[in-house]
Amino acid sequence: MQRRWIVCSLILAVTLTYGCVYAEPQPDNITNRFESMGIVQGSASATYSFLALTFRHDSYGTRIYPRHYAGAYALNNGYLVIQLTDISSEATAFYTNHLGPDARVIFEQVDFSYNQLTSFGNTFMEVVDSPIVGFGLRTMENTFNVTLDYQSPRSVEVYEAINEFRRLVPIPIDVRLGELDVILPLTIY
C-alpha cells in the first residue's frame, strides 16, 4: 500500500515539476501566468507530496501529524515553508532526513501546532451556538478560522461576544461574519 502511495507521489511530483515546462508566459493571458507559476511551485508541491507520505495514519485513515508540525505553504520561488513550533536541529532533522538535504525547504517557527489548533477549533465549534458556514486553519497566520452566517441574528450576537473574550483565549481564533468560506491546508503565495 505504501509503495503505491510512493509511486503515485513520484508521478504527481514529476507531472507538477515538468508538466508546465513548455508554457511560455504572456502578460495578457492569465492561463499562461498560472502555468508559469506551476513551473516554479512544482518543486514545492512535490516536496509537500513527499512530506505528506511521512505522516502516519490512524485506523480510520486520518493523518496523524507530528507534535511540532503546524502546516506548510509554498512560496513563489519554489520553496516549501514548513511551520513548526520547535525549529531546533533535533526537531527539523525528522523533515530533512525524509526530504533529503537538497530539498527546497524553509523552516518557520510558530506558536501553535496543527494538532493544537484543530483540537481547539473543534472544541470551539462544538460549543458555538450559531450557524457556521466555514472553518479551517489559516496556515500562514497560524490561526483557526470560523465563519458565521452573516444573515443570522444569532451569529451577530455570537460574533460580538467572541470579540469581547478573544484576548483571553490562549489560541488565536479568527471569527468572521460572511458566506461560505473555503480554506485549503496548502496555500500557494
* Last residue of one domain, picked from the residues 85, 109, 133: 109
Same domain, 98 and 176: no
Same domain, 180 and 89: no
146: CB partners within 8 A, 6+ apart: 121, 124, 125, 128, 132, 134, 135, 173, 174, 175, 176
Provide the pLDDT for residue 70.
Answer: 95
Collapsing DSSP states into helix, strand and coil, what is residue 186?
A: strand
Residues 38, 25: Cα–Cα separation, whole Å: 11
Does residue 21 form part of some domain?
yes
Same domain, 36 and 92: yes
- Could you tell me the residue range of the domain that residue 50 belongs to? 2-109
| Under 8 Å between Cβ of 145 and 132 | no
Residues 181, 136: Cα–Cα separation, whole Å: 9
Provide the pLDDT for residue 41.
Answer: 62
Provide the pLDDT for residue 180.
Answer: 55
* Last residue of one domain, picked from the residues 109, 126, 151: 109
* Last residue of one domain, picked from the residues 109, 143, 163: 109
Per-residue pLDDT of the chain (189 residues; tens, 9 = 90+): 444 444 344 343 433 333 333 333 444 444 444 444 455 567 788 888 888 888 888 899 888 899 999 999 988 888 999 999 999 999 999 999 989 888 899 999 999 999 999 888 888 878 877 788 888 888 899 988 888 888 888 888 888 887 777 777 777 878 888 865 444 444 444
Q: Report yes or no on whether pTM surpasses 0.75.
A: no
